[in-house]
Structures are given as C-alpha cells and as structure tokens.
Structure 1
C-alpha cells in the first residue's frame, strides 16, 4: 500500500512539474519573443499589399491601422465613423506614405457586405483584422438589466467576423498565404457573468478562429484569435492605463509580435499572466451570487466617484 501511495505521489509530482514547464514555455513567448521568431516588419507585406481593418475609427482598430501602415501595408479602414477615419487616413498617408481606402459601414446592419465587397474588388488583401465589436452596456449588468440590443450586438460581434472572413478568405486560399486576426476578448475564454451576451459572442469568435485555423493552416493561412483583458479604448471609457490596462498602441504593437505563436493569444505578457491566474479560480467562485453582487457594488461605487 505504501509503495502504491509513493508511486502515486511521484506521478502527481511529475505531472505538476510538467504543467509548470508548459506554463513557463508559454510565458517565454511573451518574455523572450525573439527566441520564438519575432516577425520583422517586412513579414506583413509578404502576406499581400492591403490590410483590411474593421472598427477602424477608434481604439484597437485605429491602432492596428496605424501600426500595419508603419509595417508597410496599405490600409482599408471600415467603420461607421467616416470623419474619424478620414482624420486617421490623412495621418497615415502623411507619416508613412501608404495608401488608405475608407469604407463607411455600420456593422449592426446586414445589408452592408455587398457594398464592402464591391469596394474591395481588385485589392490583394494580405491581412484582415476583424476588430469591430460592441458592448450592450459600458457597465457590467445582468442580462435583463442591460439594453435589449441583442440583435445589433450579434450582427456586430459575430456576423461581421463570419461575413468579412468569407469575403477575403477565397483569395487568400488561392494565393496560399494571408493573415486573419479576430479580436475576441478574455471574457470569451470563460462564461463571464454580468457580460453574458458579450462573453458568448466573443467565445464564438475564439472558437470560430481556432476551427478555421485547423482547416486552413495547410493552405499557408494564419488565423488567430486575440483575447485581451483591459485595453483603454472609447468602448471601455478610456480607462487609465496601468500594468494590466494597456493603451491601444502598446497592446497592438506587442500583439503583432505573436501572430505566428498559436491559434490564440492574449496579446501581451500582462494579460497572459492574468489569464493564467484566472484559470486557477474555480468557475463556481466566479459564478457565485456573492462575487457578482460584490463586483456590482464596486463598479457602482467607482461610477459615483467619476
């Protein structure tokens, strides 16, 4: 009996050590990206001439547009905020010399994709960033207490990723190269109460991305889900940046170093560490009424101070 227990504990110890080693290897992608092969700026241009970015008028989409232009790409910006995109386009053209095309489209609508397709004809699209997204409410809330904009949110967060991918994937498959970045959220990596429909929509984006990568990696196409925690954007009320909450620019610059490091990435070291910690917390704790009520009170208190 003692020998059996000893063997069990030895096996358990080996298993824990192996898990620790796997975690260390995972973190090394963020700590020492050069060891994993950081992509030079020229890598992105080898995918094709143009990068298409949805939700490009603000936040993460704006940052991807600027950073990909800095790395040699011509940019197609798509959003409903024409004036904002025009300002960003002028900045990109003046500072990088790259070309910019603006397409005005509201991703809560379903009739926009024919218009987008017509404007993309003839372009060699090497990169697609499915970034556009929305929250039902800036503050966390229970499902019935949040605005009833379910259909708009599903069109914006879910349908847009599917439709835009279908528009560009055919030519990527024909050229046997391309990069698709689907901006999900850490809220989609587990069932996140108080952000129920947003969490579910981002879980779809992550699953969609990983399944597509399994189908098309043999064709030379990279498809990756990007699942950040806190990024300061207008959607998150431009929160103050700190060790966890990154500026859009800093997050995008770091996340582009990891486009070949798997079918899903947190995008930066701080978010990878936080994600690892969150995985150790049982869902029963996160889903408990006490934790939810406490979280709502903290948010309510913070809102009163602002």
Structure 2
C-alpha cells in the first residue's frame, strides 16, 4: 500500500507551487541541522520566506546566511528558543510570529537519548526534555498556527514522526512512544479538518544519516540510509500529494516488508540491535555502565 502511494511521486508530475497553494511564509522548527535545515533550504528554493526556530544562535545565523546565499530575494527570520524549557517559550514565539501569514509549518524539532538506554537509566530531566521537545512543541506550535490557517482556509502542517512509530522500540521507549503520538495526532486532526483546504502531512522516515543518530556507526553511509539532503528532496515532493508516508522510496520498501513479519520478531531484533549499539557506544566512550 505504501509503495503504491509513494509511486505517485515517481511520476513526472508538475511541481506544486507551494507559495500559491499555501502562502508566503514557512516556519521550520529544529532548523539548524539535518532534516529541518534541508527542509528550510528546499522551501527557500521555492521562494517562500522562512522562519528558523532553534536553540543555537550561532547555527541559526549560519543557516540564515546559507539560505540567503541560495535565494537572496526572500526574507529569513530567526527565533532562538529552547523547546526543552516547556510552556514558557511559546508566548515569545507567538509574539515573534505575530502578523506573519504562515503558509507551511514544519514541526521537525526532536530529541532522543544519547545512546540506547533502559528506561530506568534515563534521567527525569531527559524524560521531560523528550516530552517537551517531541510532543509539546509540535502540539502547541500546531495550535498556534492552525488558527490563522483556518481563517485563510489554506496552509500545510508537516509533522516529522519516525519509523519507530510502527512498533514499540526497546531501549528507545519514550522516543518511539513520542513518535506514535505524532502519527496519531496528525491522523486525527487531518480527519477533523478534512472539509477544509488544509494539508496535514505526517512523515515517518527510517534511519537517516544525521547527527540525531550518533550512537551506531553501522547506520552510516548506507544506500538505504540517505543523508538529509537526499531524504528531503524526496520527501518535499510528496507534500500536497500524500498525507502519510515515509518520504523516501527505500524507507517505504522497508515499511512494506515489515508488514509481513510478526511484530514480536521485529521487536526482538530491534532489541538485539540496540543492545549491541548500546554496548559499542559505551565501550567507545569509556562509560562505566553495565
């Protein structure tokens, strides 16, 4: 089923005019690395003005300069916030976005633990960080922006989930749970607003060669694990055409194959793989952990 849906993008369809279809401005959270950065660049190439939201001011300014080099005719605005701070940051964001007609919101910001961990090993601070960054940020940013989109009856919300939403992931328990939230949330509000002209898309990529996955070098530089540039060029072509997808043909193939394998076997294999990755990372870093 997923392969059939994704095959639409393999057809040489005329690219959508995002600016005309959705509006002049795009907001991208977690926009200084990986998927978020490349998504912002691709939207800039499509002549949308960009709002970059992230926590590192140096990286924000660097990304802004890179985008303006790609397209000096657009406007790039930066908002420095740390979503791990929770509720307090959103009043500031709303003030900064006031009067900007946001056409596309990309909820990309996300975090996982430093390496695969048993649940009791995760600090309470890290648990709150994962919940604030992976769940609360997406929820509140969507609530903030969707109101104005509904008034104009156009706009797109792109929520970045993960292939880990397909099943429970041992040693990444809270992260995988947060990603099934993203998928269910996206599917639910898409149904709520199906009579409008809003696009609610959920992207569920498998492993991508980014800084987020830094605990297992075996995932790097493989044909089935693209870099962020390759992934985003593929994924952005699905916006406005496919509501729920991995965003990349090889990831769709992986998902399709998984449908025929008992979930328990997959969970056990992932547990085995993550235990090995955990052990290797601990050894590499010289951590004294059993």
Cα pair distance change 1:291/1:219, threshold 3 Å? closer
Cα pair distance change 1:49/1:268, threshold 3 Å? same
Return the alpha-carbon distance in structure 2 between the equivalents of residues 203 and 294 of structure 1: 21
2:239 corresponds, among 231, 245, 259, to 259
Return the alpha-carbon distance in structure 2 between the equivalents of residues 45 and 303 of structure 1: 50
Structure 2 match to 1:54: 29
Cα pair distance change 1:270/1:211, threshold 3 Å? same
TM-score (ref. length: structure 1): 0.85
Structure 2 match to 1:277: 257
1:104 and 2:80 are equivalent in the alignment: yes
1:192 and 2:169 are equivalent in the alignment: yes
**Which ranges in structure 1 are unaligned for 5 or more consecutive residues?**
1-21
Matches within 5 A, 1:1-306: 22=1, 25-30=4-9, 32-34=10-12, 37=13, 39-40=15-16, 42-97=17-72, 98-109=74-85, 110-137=87-114, 139-148=115-124, 149-237=126-214, 240-288=220-268, 292-293=271-272, 295-297=274-276, 299-301=278-280, 304=283
Question: What's the RMSD between the two structures over aligned residues?
Answer: 2.1
- Computing the radius of gyration from Cα coordinates, the structure with the larger value is 1
Cα pair distance change 1:99/1:245, threshold 3 Å? same
Return the alpha-carbon distance in structure 1 between the equivalents of residues 52 and 270 of structure 2: 40
User: Is the contact made by 1:38 and 1:257 (CA closer than 8 Å) also made in structure 2?
Assistant: no
User: Is the contact made by 1:45 and 1:71 (CA closer than 8 Å) also made in structure 2?
Assistant: no
Return the alpha-carbon distance in structure 1 between the equivalents of residues 284 and 113 of structure 2: 23
User: Is the contact made by 1:209 and 1:263 (CA closer than 8 Å) also made in structure 2?
Assistant: no
1:223-264 superposed Cα distances (whole Å, 9 cap, x missing partner): 011000011111112863322111111111110111133331
Which secondary structure state, in structure 2, belongs to the residue aligned with residue 112 of structure 1?
Answer: helix
TM-score (ref. length: structure 2): 0.89
Count of equivalent residues: 279
Higher relative contact order (CA 8 A, sep 6+): 2
Return the alpha-carbon distance in structure 2 between the equivalents of residues 291 and 61 of structure 1: 26
Cα pair distance change 1:57/1:24, threshold 3 Å? closer
**Which ranges in structure 2 are unaligned for 5 or more consecutive residues?**
286-290
Cα pair distance change 1:106/1:199, threshold 3 Å? same
1:246-283 superposed Cα distances (whole Å, 9 cap, x missing partner): 11111111101111333311001000001111222212
Which secondary structure state, in structure 2, belongs to the residue aligned with residue 267 of structure 1?
Answer: coil
Cα pair distance change 1:38/1:135, threshold 3 Å? farther
User: Is the contact made by 2:2 and 2:252 (CA closer than 8 Å) also made in structure 1?
Assistant: no
